Structure 1
């Protein structure tokens, strides 16, 4: 996915402002298995996924709990670092070799301070991430495991072929055995 498309999906800005943002972006290729963001660390970069898939997880009672998957067009950032400049809660792991657009947080904040359009773009980015988080939280609290799995199949069918079932089970809040039973029923 082209960076211009990602910019426009967040919020439409002028070509001049778009170019300012694009001048600060660097394209990077990173390997599967890399933890690009780490919990308990202040993150200093924001990424946007050109190609690939990632997962966000946290450790609870010694187990990794997956709570988000990101793919082409999604942003990768610690909202806590982005807003409060504090250590993040989550770890984000690349599940495939990924091509990402990278921007330093300081550069992004500098653009916000000098360009009102980009400041509004950044506000929309944060608002969109908040809405996605709220939707994930509500979805995780409602319905049976079968209903949550069916919803995942409808809203994000490509995940099933791109992500290990153990991560999907964790995301749904069930065991891998329960997920296998659900898949057999459907």
Structure 2
């Protein structure tokens, strides 16, 4: 997905503002399994996925718990780093070789002060990320694993073909055995 489409999905900008923002964005290609963001570190970048899939997870003593997947067109951001310039909670791992757009948070803050349209774009960006987080929390609290799996099938069917079942089971908060049962029930 091209950067213009990604930026416009967040909030349409006048051409001059979009050009200013794009001047601060660079393209990077990174390999599968690369750790894009580490928990307990300040991440001074926002990324947008041009091509590929990433997962966000938190580590416990005995396992990793996946809580988010990102794919083409989506932003990848540690909101705690973005908003407060503090270390984030999450690790972000590339599940495929990825092509990303990289934007330095400091450059974005400078643009916020120079261009009201970019400042509004940043506000809309943060609002969208807040809503995504709220939806994720509500889904985990009030929906069953089966309902969350059906939601994944409906809204992100691509993930089911491209992501290991272990990561999907972790995302759903169940074991791989339980996920296999759900998948078998759905087919039967």
TM range (shorter): over 0.9
**Deviation larger for 94-103 or 137-146:** 137-146
Structure 1: distance between partners of 2:60 and 2:133: 19
Query: What SS is found at the alignment partner of 1:89?
Result: coil
Tell me the TM-score normalized by structure 2. 0.97
Superposed displacement of residue 87, structure 1: 0.1
Q: How many residues are paired up?
A: 186
Structure 2: distance between partners of 1:25 and 1:175: 39
Matches within 5 A, 1:1-186: 1-186=1-186
Tell me the TM-score normalized by structure 1. 0.98
1:66-93 CA-partner distances (Å, limit 9, x unpaired): 0000001100110000000000100000
Query: What SS is found at the alignment partner of 1:158?
Result: helix
Over aligned residues, Cα RMSD in angstroms? 0.8
Segments ≥4 residues shifted beyond 2 Å:
none
Query: What SS is found at the alignment partner of 1:137?
Result: helix
| Unmatched tracts of structure 1, length 5 or more | none
Structure 2: distance between partners of 1:147 and 1:105: 36
Structure 1: distance between partners of 2:90 and 2:102: 18
1:18-49 CA-partner distances (Å, limit 9, x unpaired): 00001111001000000100000000111000
Query: What SS is found at the alignment partner of 2:157?
Result: coil
| Unmatched tracts of structure 2, length 5 or more | none
